[in-house]
Amino acid sequence: MNQRNIALLPPDTHTGLSLSDRKDRAAGIPAVIQSLAHIREETGVLDGIKILNKLNQKDGFDCPSCAWPDPHHRSRLGEYCENGAKAVAEETTTKRVDRAFFAKHSVQELGLWSDLDLGKSGRITEPFILRKGRDHYEPIGWDEAYSTIAQRLNGLSSPDEGIFYTSGRASNEAAYVYQLFARMFGTNNLPDCSNMCHESSGTGLGETIGIGKGTVSLDDIYAAKLILVMGQNPGTNHPRMLSALTKCVENGGKIVSVNPLPEAGTHGFIDPQNVKSVLVNGTDFHTLHVGLRINTDVAFLKGVMRLLLDKEDASPGSAFDKDFIAGKTEGYEAFIADLRNTDAQAMANICGVPIGQLEQVAQLVAGIDRIIVSWAMGLTQHVNAVANIHQVVNLLLLRGAFGKPGAGACPVRGHSNVQGDRTMGIFERPSSSLLDALDKRYGFKTPREDGTDVVGAIEAMRDGKGKVFFALGGNFISATPDSEVTALAIMNCDLTVQVSTKLNRSHVITGEEAIILPCFGRSERDVQNGKPQFVTVEDSMSVVHRSQGAHEPASEHLRSEPAIVCELAAATFGSKFGVDWRGMVKNYDLIREEVQAVIPGFDDYNRRVRQPEGFVLPNGPRDGANFTTESGKAHFMVDHAPAWALAEGEYLMMTIRTHDQFNTTIYGLEDRYRGIHGERRVVLMHADDMAKECLDAKDRVDLVSDHGRERVATDFFVVPYDIARGCAATYFPEANVLVPLELKAERSGTPASKSVVIRLRKR
């Protein structure tokens, strides 16, 4: 147990709140000004522009921000957005966390810093170790670091006491060798950020269409007649999606947003790179905004489908694609029987919206098959999140909206290579076909028992069953639910290791001993054995392509992620498995040859990925409505719509991102589109609810969640906002302390961080 006296939570100090009107259109010139301001401050103007010119270009590097795909024709003016530029500024900062930094600041002191200040301290320059009983990190050589970790791992009484976390920025090459390393070590304990993110999408899609991935391409977005954007804030989190939505609207498509908040990017877009767009104040997307309550999407979708059924009854063939349903699906009868018992008005009441809005959506849906539903965390982070995905698929199946241009399911991934990491085998519940392929290739017996996911890993560490925690990127402490519980769990470990670029809270709240292994960022040049290397990634639409940085690394002592994993494997296993780990480090083509031999869809990997646009992985449902379920048919699913049931004084809280952060990395304090400036400890509430609670704007409250025991997030400002009544919104990660570990999605295990019941306590 780490006995250091470290603050378990970040400080609750205030930075100063000011409010302005919210925007109903995203981007425009302010976006350009903001990107340049971050680049100027962190990187310097000349270097910054040079690096940005390589961002998302065919010969350049993949943006480390989101997983939105690149269009065929890349703009030479810049194929990136404001938040991509901020991510690059953050990575290419000229500030450094070096020996002098750690000599000056103890971990106890760093524990009192905000996430913003920790992140802004700069790039880590060499490996560091926090030895048992010491309060300061000290430098350690790479070889000693590897052998220390290997020794600890080899000393565990069972391989399952090792936990190997991955954040979704790791390349395919790093991810492949990492999962191989963990399985050769003897465990499937491979939790990843996906467990907290799109796990519910993967589970829900797998159960219905047989593949846990989206089924659309960018061309489909351009060709769609209707896109339902559900539980997603693309203006902030996937800004380049707005260019695609603009094309859709210009081609006559309609956009409906379904969200408790009216987010700027789903209402309109001013393309800052297009003079005409700036002059005419952009493109209006605003077909319809359904401002439903949090976690009422099942009710919304069932209500719409009930209205479609009424249309179909009144005029057969007008609302359902009967041929598609008969030929391609099963479970229709049970689904329709349930729908007949569903009252559309009751569903509208649960959502807290007029039934007329559901009728409008049903009207838009009936008669067209070019329908796409896109979604992100608003659908996946609830207890019944998997049901949300089922109902999305049901709607698409009724219209036969699979395997056709302009149609399909579009879960918009978060981290830039989170989808690729899964394809490479980062999964705590691997398929037996993957394990069989590994056994065959390497002649060893892979562990067959499922490993722990994120929540399971926290429980294991809390209960003394997880002893060495290794993180390939990310910020486990701040990203996970129940911050105090998680902090104590991590502190219960013997050793925690972070492979990272920048400092974060996971370097401060650690096991008894802690090691930091600093790595290259995406934008940086990776030369091995005198030869420049590239890595590969998979975007949200299953396109696998190259990423090659060109910028001088932040320090000469950094290593690449594939090199770190391979060196660690060599130190841990010696020559045991006969794998040429060091050979793979010298030439990443050799890693890709391993991938090709084990993972389906990667034939001729090294040649195909050198094509300027990479290649697209096979996807049955997308490539002709060939569902990859056991029966070959897509399944209609029956799910119950949870009632809206809160006691007096209770609110349902979602934790969301501001416009000025990447997950736990805080870029600044501006939530520009929402008109909230200078402060992150805010709780957004409807004015009527505030009046009910006798609260005025900027009043200070503690937020209390009573799930099993009392959890408190202290000192938040109340902000009146255009949010559904009965709902509240706070920012992630400040409010994670309120998310109970045991509150998670059924079957996918995703923390329900958008469904936390809270009360307010006035200060």
Interface residues with ligand MGD (CB under 6 A) are 64-66, 83, 167-169, 193, 196-197, 230-233, 236-238, 258-261, 263, 294-295, 297, 376-378, 381, 414-415, 472-476, 479, 499-502, 504, 519, 521-522, 561, 654-657, 661-665, 732, 736, 739, 753-754
CA distances from 643 to 293, 310, 346, 384, 748 (A): 11, 23, 9, 12, 21
Task: Provide, rounded to whole angstroms, the least separation between the CB of residue 518 and ligand MGD.
Answer: 9
Nearer residue to ligand MGD within complex by CB, 66 or 460: 66
Residue with smaller CB distance to Mo ion, 243 or 663: 663
Cα distances (Å, whole numbers) of residue 401 to 317, 321, 328, 754: 15, 9, 11, 28
User: What distance in Å separates the CA atoms of residue 375 and residue 525, rounded to the nearest whole number?
Assistant: 34
Least separation, in Å, of the C-beta of 551 and ligand MGD?
13
Burial class, 20, CB count within 10 angstroms (exposed 0-12 / middle 13-18 / buried 19+) = exposed
> Are 463 and 437 a contacting pair, CB within 8 Å?
no
Note whether 682 and 697 are within 8 A (CB).
Answer: no
Kindly tell me which of 2 and 417 has the beta carbon lying closer to ligand MGD. Answer: 417
Q: Which of these, 67, 378, 39, lies nearest to 238 by C-alpha position?
A: 67
404 binds, among Mo ion, ligand MGD, none (CB under 5 to 8 A by kind): none
Q: CB of residue 324 vs ligand MGD: minimum separation in angstroms?
A: 26
If the CB atoms of residues 202 and 414 are measured against Mo ion, the closer one turns out to be 414
Start-end of H helices in 512-604: 561-573, 581-586, 588-598
Among ligand MGD, Mo ion, none, the one that 754 touches (CB under a kind-dependent 5 to 8 A) is ligand MGD
> Can you read off the two tokens belonging to residue 312?
């179909």
Q: List residues binding Mo ion (CB under 5 A).
A: 197, 414
Name beta bridge partners: 269.
Answer: 26, 283
Q: Which residues contact 553 (CB under 8 A, 6 or more apart)?
A: 520, 524, 525
How many DSSP H helices and E strands does the chain contain? Answer: 30, 34
Is residue 325 within a helix (H) or strand (E), and if so which, with residue range? Answer: helix 322-328
Q: Parallel, antiparallel, or unpaired: how do β-strands 268-270 and 283-284 relate?
A: antiparallel
Name which of ligand MGD, Mo ion, none residue 27 binds, using a CB cut-off of 5 to 8 Å depending on partner kind.
none
Residue 604 CB, nearest distance to ligand MGD (Å)? Answer: 28
Q: Which residue, 271 or 369, has its beta carbon nearer to ligand MGD?
A: 271
Q: CB of 411: closest distance to Mo ion in angstroms?
A: 11
Q: Looking at the chain, how many residues does it have?
A: 763
Rounded distance between C-alpha atoms, residue 212 and residue 198, angstroms: 9
Q: 8 in helix, strand or coil?
A: coil
Instruction: Give the CB-nearest residue to Mo ion.
Output: 414
Give 48 or 378: the residue with its C-beta nearer to ligand MGD. Answer: 378
Residue with Cβ nearer Mo ion (197 or 457):
197
Instruction: Please report how close the Cβ of residue 197 comes to Mo ion at its closest, in angstroms.
Output: 3
3-state DSSP assignment of residue 96: strand
Q: Report, in Å, the least distance between residue 395 CB and Mo ion.
A: 24
CB 503 within 8 A of CB 109: no
Q: How far is the CB of 146 from Mo ion (least distance, A)?
A: 30
Q: Which is nearer to ligand MGD, 320 or 716 (CB)?
A: 716
Total Cβ atoms within 10 A of residue 583? 12
- Distance between terminal CA atoms of the chain? 35
Nearest to 39 by CA among 26, 55, 28: 55
Residue 277's binding partner among ligand MGD, Mo ion, none (Cβ under 5 to 8 angstroms by kind) is none
Q: Which is nearer to Mo ion, 184 or 196 (CB)?
A: 196
Shortest Cβ distance from residue 157 to ligand MGD (Å)?
28
Q: Which lies closer to Mo ion via its Cβ, residue 201 or residue 492?
A: 201
Residue 65 contact among ligand MGD, Mo ion, none, beta carbon within 5 to 8 Å by kind:
ligand MGD
**Nearest distance, CB of residue 107 and ligand MGD, angstroms:** 16
Q: Which does 43 bind (CB under 5 to 8 A by kind): Mo ion, ligand MGD, none?
A: none
Residue 616: closest CA among 230, 220, 340, 326 = 220
